[in-house]
A and B are shown apart, each in its own frame.
Chain A
């Protein structure tokens, strides 16, 4: 019995702070849950009306597409740059270890700090990036104020934020590949790119899958980067499902509609969570 007391606090916490919110979101999404509810305590059941509102909203399609583009762009960028840096730092050279750990800094900073900093860097008129580009005679780019560029800008910033996490995990994976494999490969003439394709990538596969799936799950729920940089604008060009959910609930106080959005987000995350669990089990079994 005392043994159960070790897990009881954690179990209670998880039920109250994960179980209850998930159930509450499900019920809220079926109710007309607005500011009025907080005064009258009444939240009439409305069936799937909130979901209909969400799916027929002119913002749903763009938000879904933006979520997909934001996630895909971020993951590809973070992963490719992260793998390149992890492979580079796998070499042994003076100061390598220190440089590699300093590389983690962007990951440890509060994300809103990174958003604020990038917002000053990307400022159209005075930002250092446009002044730098101006040095090459290029026109200033409206990084955060043009609907056609803003999504690219938030993706770039999210890539920057995510690179260290990718480097840390992939570097860990590279360390696990036995040196003998490369020595054996070198005897067969596999060096450089050849070794990378035929030795590094296949052996890194379990870690790569975990990095990619975790990256997707984390990126789907990103809010601070977008709110800090663009607040979903300009002209809704950086609205994602997570941003929509926040704005419906906490800006429009339409909690029913907001939770419908977030349940759609959970559903998408769940697909990737299942992939993660399958991949992780396989990685552990191997």
Chain B
């Protein structure tokens, strides 16, 4: 946080000429106030989720505007009921990150640097694949997984969740790998490294930032997945927390504090990422879509 604050200051100050700066300063504080007000309205539901998770009886009927007497009963129930599901989600999300980067990074490099004739067609396929509705994939995977015994399995969900991540990761990694000067890879190859050695020892280190961005988004996509959890699991054995919340919505709406406590616990990755990895989030927000 403090780092970004410094960054914004550093970029803001020089562009403002001193003559304009002074009379504008009161107006600027007005903008800050308006900005805070707009953000407060936009983030009110997030505040309300945290507030409701700390209400004693868990009943929104009696929820006060501020948790004056915070009660952690909701969290106790959430962790007792959903703790295992949170761990399942974590394992699946980490697995998806590893799988997605392992598949996407070499492909992105090839599409950025090698002169294949069919690159435009490959890119077209990747862009279109992002537009295929998840329910289409779920329909087909259900029957295939049923035959292969992969329903209710962590590898099955990792492979399915990677459908969100892999096309996105290829596009975002490719756009950054286009900027790698071919000479540094050639230098490694002259030193006797094979193509794969050169990839791991040269390309991967210089692409660190975009790999982090792609990895963060792969994690978030998988952590947030609901559709595959809903369709490709049928028993309690492997149950991501998103599905846990959905089932709470069917059974526990009289105990909102437990539902909201689970919601808060499921939001922690997003909140942590937003605070410590802002620069990567911003890169991902625009990178995958426009480039």
Contacts and interface: CB of A to CB of B under 8 A. Distances in A.
B39 to A, nearest CB: 5
Given A21-B140, A97-B7, A250-B231, A126 B60 contact: yes
A255 B52 CA distance: 39
B102 interface: yes
Contacts of B282: 101, 168
B131 A217 contact: yes
Contact of A258 (B16, B139, B267): B139
Interface stretch (B178-186, B205-213, B243-251): B243-251
Interface string A114-126: 1111111101011
A25 B142 contact: no
A95 B274 CA distance: 16
A205 B114 CA distance: 32
Contacts of B5: 97-98
A86 to B, nearest CB: 12
B4 A97 contact: yes
Contacts of B4: 97-98, 101
B91 interface: no
A109 B271 CA distance: 8
A212 to B, nearest CB: 12
A25 B224 contact: no
A223 B71 CA distance: 33
Interface residues of B, number: 102
A85 B194 CA distance: 50
Interface in A183-230: 207, 210, 214, 217, 220-221, 223-224, 227-228
B128 A273 contact: yes
A259 B12 CA distance: 53
Contacts of A255: 139, 142-143
B45 A121 contact: yes
A14 interface: yes
A contacts with B: majority SS: helix
B136 A265 contact: yes
A3 B114 contact: yes
A143 to B, nearest CB: 13
A120 B256 contact: yes
B109 A6 contact: yes
Interface string A125-139: 111100000000000
Nearest to B132: A18
A38 B143 contact: yes
Interface in A6-28: 6-7, 9-11, 13-14, 17-18, 20-22, 24-25, 28
Interface in A220-272: 220-221, 223-224, 227-228, 242, 245-246, 249-250, 255, 258-259, 262-263, 265-266, 269-270, 272
Interface in B45-60: 45-46, 48-49, 52, 59-60
Contact of B140 (A20, A103, A113): A20
A135 B15 CA distance: 46
Interface residues of A, number: 95
Contacts of B144: 20, 24
B190 interface: no
Interface of B: 1, 4-5, 7-8, 12, 15-16, 28-29, 31-32, 34-36, 38-39, 42-43, 45-46, 48-49, 52, 59-63, 102-104, 106-107, 109-111, 114, 116, 122, 124-129, 131-144, 146, 159-160, 162-163, 166-167, 170, 194-196, 199, 220, 223-224, 226-227, 230-231, 242, 245-246, 248-249, 253, 256, 259-260, 263, 266-267, 270-271, 273-274, 278, 281-282, 285-286, 289-290
19 contacts: A5-B106, A7-B106, A18-B129, A18-B163, A22-B132, A38-B143, A106-B46, A110-B223, A110-B226, A113-B242, A125-B61, A128-B63, A214-B289, A228-B226, A242-B133, A255-B142, A262-B136, A269-B132, A273-B127
Given A21-B141, A110-B270, 16 more contacts: A24-B140, A38-B146, A96-B35, A99-B36, A101-B281, A101-B282, A103-B42, A105-B46, A108-B281, A125-B61, A168-B286, A217-B131, A221-B135, A245-B135, A249-B231, A277-B124
